[in-house]
Structure 1
Amino acid sequence: MARIAVRALLALVLLAVLATVGTFAAVNRGGRRQTEARLGADPRLDAPDTFPIPKVEAPDVVGWPAGVTPTAPEGFAVTRFAGGLDHPRWLYRLPGGDVLVAESATSPKPAESVVMGVLSWLRRNDGATRERSANRITLLRDTDGDGVADFRSTFLKNLNQPFGMALLRAAPPYAVEPDARPGTEVAFYVAGTDGVWRFPYRLGETRITAPGRKILDLPAGGYNNHWTRNLFAAADGSTLYVTVGSGSNAGEHGLEAERGRAAVLQVDPDGGGARVYASGIRNPNGLGLQPATGTLWAVVNERDVLGDDVSPDYLTRVRDGDFYGWPWSYWGHHVDDRVTPARPDLVARALRPDYSLGAHTAPLGLAFSTGTAFPPAYRGGAFISEHGSWNRGDPVGYKVVYVPFAHGMPSGRPRDFLTGFKPDPGGSMTYGRPVGVILDRAGGLLVADDAGDTVWRVRHADDTVWTATRWR
């Protein structure tokens, strides 16, 4: 008994020391401001920071004060499309204009180590983890066309951390036309953390009650927030793309545990033909087709604990057979010495991403700008939500940026588009954190704010408010 008591005392002392050091790391920002030199197609990369205690500046989520909204550029208006949600993560627009929101959260779990336990404690109010995940999809409808959802319904429930959604016809041709009429029989797909499910659905209905069928098993859970599984349909509907983040930071659990992970998968609408489409992508989330070229793009969260500016999170093309280096290398051929065994042959194969969004910005949502509702300066490029990360002395992200495109490729630095999620950008106090982004039927931008339990809408002042008939 005495031996057990001594061990318990030593464990408590160790925890206290680590908590003190971790708290010091949290308040000792000492980080570098993110400069433009670290963004874009040719970013500056510093040597990794090998200091054993990671810098931590976890957000302290306090919620939005009454009457306060995020801030958009001059000429744009921001309104609350829907509030009172339960950790809204991802958005999907149905052909009639209804908006689906996946409400799901990180579930509490035992820490992988004492250090990770201390880091989890420091991040206890970051808005990511909740005692329970709502595990549902809610339908939002604006019946009078004023830009505010005035009807909501539980569309699907009892899911397992739902995230990505897609809609296809039940048989070829699979693509669903934007003007498909109510009553059309289709198949609704949702990606949970452990698989992709398919449900029968009729357009216009406000809920699904028929049982679904699991068409694809996926490895569940993952390091930090890598439980999210996005889902995206090819333009012709003939295939689905599924994102699966890594189960570790940099392969520390062994590469066998990463089978089928850190990748974008491809699967047929019936669940057959599943295979790895692109790999070495640590944590891909948002997917989208660049409108001028039809090429698939993704935003990706890179690895932690290599310093404030290593390694860059990024926006890049995703093509069949692409390999982006994880876990052996980052940003092309920059070797991560923590990974064993070394694989110089795979490092030599690794592609350099197309566009740096800066280290630890945590990009999640991606929506290409189409239509004419926004001014020309905000057409043809990509809106990207940056959720923000704990692993930087001087926090970055916590905003939506716009990346201009020209000739099918990013052109110029990202521009701040929706800010104000942190009242003091260098401090810990946080009102909300942006995740999913989509364009609504009228061309406005909808932004899911998971920590703020809100979906925001951004419209340009010159755009007229749509009518209910236009919306429906």
Structure 2
Amino acid sequence: MKYLVMLLACLLVPVTYAQSLLQQLSLPEGYEISYFAKYVDNARQMAVSPTGVVYVGSRKAGKVHALIDSDKDGKADRKIVLAQGLNMPSGLAMKGNDLFVAEVNRVIRFANIDKQLNATAKQFNYEVVFDELPSKRHHGWKFIRFADNGELLIPVGVACNVCTEDPKFGRIFSLDLETQKLTTIAQGVRNSVGFDTNPKTGKLWFSDNGRDMMGDDIPPDELNRVDTPQQHFGFPFVHGGSVLDPEFAKNKTLVDFQHFSAPKLALQAHVAPLGLHFYRGTHFPKVMHNKLFVAEHGSWNRSKKVGYRVMMATIKGGEVTAYEPFVSGFLSKEQTLGRPVAFAELADGSLLVSDDYANAVYRIRYNNK
């Protein structure tokens, strides 16, 4: 009897935790949040296929998931593991009917992936399309998107806290899948795990996580905009546009580095901005169109935790004019309840948010009743 009680308690904990987490979250008036899917191991970047299947990568779990909402009720009723044992398959992107997955050192492709699901395959086939990325795992997990020119954008973080690396690190690259050529889009980037193109201007915005071990409040994390090819954003010499590195900028001033680009918004240190997403849908009120959502994953080495929320930036004339919370409550009295990672839009305009701590994908909709 004793062991039966313990077993029942273990089974009930996840349900109770899930219910309490949703009740803890706070959104602006008129918005509702629910679970699109639970128990999605280490949910990271998402990609939505033309038929509405939501694919989800992971980091530590090494898995790629497929979430299927067969009856279109806003909840996934099927969950399929496409692959496991991969090397931090965090980054996902769709191109046509093909699913691209970025591991630490390579990019793989699941061709016609929805058809593979429909065939109820026991083993899902993929091919390696690029395998010349660095194999270092420190800051090696990826976030990927296809650019308007059809090339695949891939970041490679530095394999350190702060250091100078060879040109394969600390950059955002553009990969031509046909020629296999990598082109530098941005450099001086410590660790970007999120970017999106502003639909109005075509400019690429990206997040960057600042260095550690300089205290609780410096240096800032960053939101940046790429204006010119191979633009340099300061790392490891200048952090957040204003903080000189004690080692790599020793005996220098900010004037010495004025050719580096300052962030469009310097964020609080250690909030860890990851996924970025410009809202394109029409389900949210018109004023929300082109708002930039930012997933603040949250600090890991600060004396008092910060981040752990979804933020929303207003951009006018290429500048950030407002930055305010959109979903908060993932942190309660220093207790971590969830850690938002990335975004995706469904065809109906509702917004998905992944959470690699609570192993969940949330769906946010607007209810103007």
- Normalising by structure 2, we get a TM-score of 0.87
Work out the CA distance in 1 between the residues paired with 2:348 and 2:212: 39
Query: 1:65-464 to 2 correspondence within 5 Å?
Result: 65-68=17-20, 69=22, 70-105=25-60, 133=61, 135-168=62-95, 176=96, 186-206=97-117, 209-223=124-138, 226-237=139-150, 239-251=151-163, 255-256=164-165, 258-270=166-178, 272-318=180-226, 319-332=228-241, 334-339=243-248, 347-412=257-322, 414-424=323-333, 427=334, 429-462=335-368
Q: Is the 8 A contact 1:366 1:382 kept in 2?
A: yes
| 1:411 alignment partner, SS class | strand
Work out the CA distance in 2 between the residues paired with 1:452 and 1:444: 20
> How much has 1:266 moved relative to structure 2?
1.4
Query: 1:33-44 to 2 correspondence within 5 Å?
Result: none
| 1:349 alignment partner, SS class | coil
* 1:227-278 per-position Cα deviation (integer Å, ceiling 9, x unaligned): 21111111241x1110111111111xxx34x441111011102351113221
The aligned counterpart of 1:126 is none
**How many equivalent pairs are there?**
347
* 1:309-367 per-position Cα deviation (integer Å, ceiling 9, x unaligned): 21111111124111011111113363212227888898342111111222111001111
Judge which range, 276-285 or 338-347, deviates more: 338-347
> How much has 1:447 moved relative to structure 2?
0.9
Work out the CA distance in 1 between the residues paired with 2:317 and 2:114: 36
Work out the CA distance in 2 between the residues paired with 1:394 and 1:95: 43
The one-letter code sitting in structure 1 at the alignment partner of 2:33 is V
Query: Can you give the 5+ residue segments of structure 1 that lack an aligned partner in the other structure?
Result: 1-61, 106-132, 169-175, 177-185, 464-472
- Normalising by structure 1, we get a TM-score of 0.69
The one-letter code sitting in structure 2 at the alignment partner of 1:274 is L
| 2:17 alignment partner, SS class | coil
Q: Is the 8 A contact 2:331 2:338 kept in 1?
A: yes
Q: Is the 8 A contact 1:290 1:408 kept in 2?
A: no
Work out the CA distance in 1 between the residues paired with 2:129 and 2:256: 34
| 2:201 alignment partner, SS class | coil
Q: Is the 8 A contact 1:216 1:271 kept in 2?
A: no
| 2:348 alignment partner, SS class | coil
> How much has 1:158 moved relative to structure 2?
3.6
Of Structure 1 and Structure 2, which has the larger fraction of its residues in strand?
2
Residues 343, 244 of structure 1: alpha-carbon distance in 2 compared, 3 angstrom cutoff: farther
Q: Is the 8 A contact 2:284 2:366 kept in 1?
A: yes
Q: Is the 8 A contact 2:219 2:243 kept in 1?
A: no
Work out the CA distance in 1 between the residues paired with 2:101 and 2:209: 22
Work out the CA distance in 2 between the residues paired with 1:395 and 1:341: 30
* 1:396-441 per-position Cα deviation (integer Å, ceiling 9, x unaligned): 10000111122343222x11111111122xx2x1111111112222
Q: Is the 8 A contact 2:91 2:143 kept in 1?
A: yes
| 1:277 alignment partner, SS class | strand
The one-letter code sitting in structure 2 at the alignment partner of 1:351 is S
Residues 375, 395 of structure 1: alpha-carbon distance in 2 compared, 3 angstrom cutoff: same
The one-letter code sitting in structure 2 at the alignment partner of 1:78 is I
The aligned counterpart of 1:112 is none
Work out the CA distance in 2 between the residues paired with 1:418 and 1:405: 19
The one-letter code sitting in structure 2 at the alignment partner of 1:145 is K
Work out the CA distance in 1 between the residues paired with 2:202 and 2:276: 15
Residues 341, 190 of structure 1: alpha-carbon distance in 2 compared, 3 angstrom cutoff: farther
Judge which range, 304-313 or 344-353, deviates more: 344-353
Residues 445, 187 of structure 1: alpha-carbon distance in 2 compared, 3 angstrom cutoff: closer
* 1:442-464 per-position Cα deviation (integer Å, ceiling 9, x unaligned): 1111111111011111111139x
RMSD: 2.4
> How much has 1:205 moved relative to structure 2?
3.6
| 2:180 alignment partner, SS class | coil
Work out the CA distance in 2 between the residues paired with 1:294 and 1:348: 25
Runs of 4+ in 1 over 6 A off after TM superposition: 340-346
The aligned counterpart of 1:56 is none
The one-letter code sitting in structure 2 at the alignment partner of 1:192 is E
Q: Is the 8 A contact 1:241 1:264 kept in 2?
A: yes
Work out the CA distance in 2 between the residues paired with 1:157 and 1:392: 33
